[in-house]
Structure 1
Amino acid sequence: MGDVTTVAVAGETRRRPELAAFLRSRRARVTPQDVGMPPGLRRRTPGLRREEVAQLSGVGVTWYTWLEQGRPINASSQVLDAVARTLRLDRPEREHLYHLAEVPYEPESAPEHAVGAGPEIQGILDALVPLPAVVYNARYDVLATNATYEMMFLREDGRPWTGPLGVRNVLWSLFTMPADKCPVVERHLELPLMVAQLRGAYGRHVGEPAWESFVRLLSEASPYFAELWRSGDVVPPGTRVKTFRHHRAGEIRMTSVSLSINGMPECRIVTYTPNDEESRRSIDLLLNGA
């Protein structure tokens, strides 16, 4: 019972500062012109002031100030909706706000630790060959792969990149490997999106030891990850066009599609489809051992 209480207290302790930082970062993003207000004089930052957010949301200045300071105050869904509209939050950002404020928003339970995908899911991945396919959880732990994925993303020595405690994790690999070994060509575009997607999931796990440890360790290992994490950006999973670099096959242009899995909350199958014939031939050469 004591352990449960400790985790709950830790979650509350982390959730409030995270909520405060998230609101400040979103407020700084909205200019007075965005909401039809004059820019005014002697404005220290380009974003809205706290009193302006309160006024536009129809709430008290003191109440909003306390909310943004992370004080332990209650918030209703109606009030959060008003704040979200003022700050121009999209759907994943709104959901993130609700989780941090501990207000119900399509609640969904999820396992804390990585678990295997099971033989049925593995069979689907294998049937997708020659397309690369993988199962990720919300933290980008690799739960299952097929042969094509393994050929594309193994290290040059034939071993997988692993994260802390031996868990295979894509974010850990991409942020800690040498830049010239990174398989993502447009690293400056793709990595911020992946971190923003991670942060969206993090809102449901604030205070959980596995998540807090992962974020802390990766922030210590990668200053670039730490910088992106501080930005506060949130995006949902979705279809992406990506270019990968393989040490033997060269550049391969792929479209990634993310599919949810019934019975595995917060987990998804991601498949990669070649965008052109040259990329398709490169995949075939990899599978044939060229």
Structure 2
Amino acid sequence: MLGCVTSTGLRRDELAAFLRTRRARLRPAEVGLPEGLRRRTPGLRRQEVAQLAGMSVDYYIRLEQGRGPHPSRQVLAALARALLLSRDERAYLFRVAGESPPPSAGPSREVSPGLRHLIDAMTETPAYLVDASYQVLAWNRLARHFIGDLSAVPPAERNTIRWTFRQPDDDAHWSDQDVVSFVRTSVADLRAAYGRYPNDPSIRQLVTELLGTSPRFAQLWAEHDVAERRPVVKRVAHPELGPLEFECRVLHVPETDQRLITYVPEPGSPTQATFRALAERIAP
């Protein structure tokens, strides 16, 4: 049974069960407490969680028993810190308590080992990972032939939207409708990130900079567009590799709000042959 929901959206039984399971998984050493003796059950004691969260033991016990009052946002934030909740767990805690989750301070810029292995394993496909503000976080060998070797570039300058709008107005890219459509959806995606991370200084700085330096960006930003990401076919006259045609795929990574950008050629196409030959040439 999932239990009832109060008029304020509080799911008491679900909140109680969630608190109990999160408490049971923690070891005292993980939160800076001595292990001690005579622990009959795994995890922290209720009084230890209450102490870590700065609340009375009686109040916390009532929450775990599904009979406490509607917890405030301050109480929920304290519990999230005390129980070492992940971002997803913190959001869930707020939702079962009938509250909207607090906004994240900024986009995640941590690259998981799994994603890094995936990018490196795509030996015949250029691929790179960006955060919600399109800051490049990781890239593979083939991607260097399109975005450069970013290891020599300061991290603050590794932003694909900034690169795009630094191109002069007479650049050939702006006459390609597929490119313009892709740029438009990128700006819409950036606006969504601007709303999700209102306290992130890097996003505010990027938007402020481009509003002051790029009339084209300012025009798109003023339209307040919101658009779903769609694949775009790109045709590139590469200075080293010659004419290329591939599908640019932007894949959302939900758990980190990052995007994996890949250049996917049609099977059997000249571009696939070019990517394969390049991969063989630069293989370690």
- With structure 2 as the length reference, what TM-score do the two structures score? 0.54
Letter in 2 for 1:261: V
Equivalent position SS for 1:255: strand
Q: Considering only CA atoms, is the larger Rg found in Structure 1 or Structure 2?
A: 2
Match of 1:76 in 2: none
Residue pair 2:107, 2:197 contacting (<8 A) in 1 also = no
Residue pair 1:135, 1:270 contacting (<8 A) in 2 also = yes
Q: Does 1:282 align with 2:243?
A: no
Letter in 2 for 1:193: T
Letter in 1 for 2:241: A
- Can you give the 5+ residue segments of structure 2 that lack an aligned partner in the other structure? 1-98
Q: Does 1:268 align with 2:259?
A: yes
Q: Does 1:171 align with 2:161?
A: yes
Which 10-residue stretch deviates more, 177-186 or 218-227?
177-186
**Distance in 1, Cα, partners of 2:241 & 2:158:** 23
> Residue 117 of structure 2 is aligned with which of 106, 113, 123?
123
C-alpha RMSD of the superposition = 3.3
**Distance in 2, Cα, partners of 1:234 & 1:167:** 25
Match of 2:193 in 1: 201
Q: Per-residue displacement from partner, 1:28-53 (whole Å, max 9, x unpaired)?
A: xxxxxxxxxxxxxxxxxxxxxxxxxx
> Residue 137 of structure 2 is aligned with which of 140, 143, 155?
143
Task: State the identity %.
Answer: 26
**Residues 220 and 242 (structure 1), Cα distance of their counterparts in 2 relative to 1, 3 Å cut:** same
Residue pair 1:131, 1:271 contacting (<8 A) in 2 also = yes
- Can you give the 5+ residue segments of structure 1 that lack an aligned partner in the other structure? 1-103
**Residues 109 and 240 (structure 1), Cα distance of their counterparts in 2 relative to 1, 3 Å cut:** farther
Size of the alignment, in residue pairs?
Answer: 181
Residue pair 2:185, 2:227 contacting (<8 A) in 1 also = yes
Matches within 5 A, 1:125-274: 125-154=119-148, 166-178=156-168, 180=171, 186-206=178-198, 208-261=200-253, 263-264=255-256, 266-274=257-265
Q: Per-residue displacement from partner, 1:238-265 (whole Å, max 9, x unpaired)?
A: 333333332222332222333333642x
**Residues 142 and 159 (structure 1), Cα distance of their counterparts in 2 relative to 1, 3 Å cut:** closer
Letter in 1 for 2:186: M
- With structure 1 as the length reference, what TM-score do the two structures score? 0.53
Match of 1:50 in 2: none
Residue pair 1:153, 1:183 contacting (<8 A) in 2 also = no
Match of 1:73 in 2: none
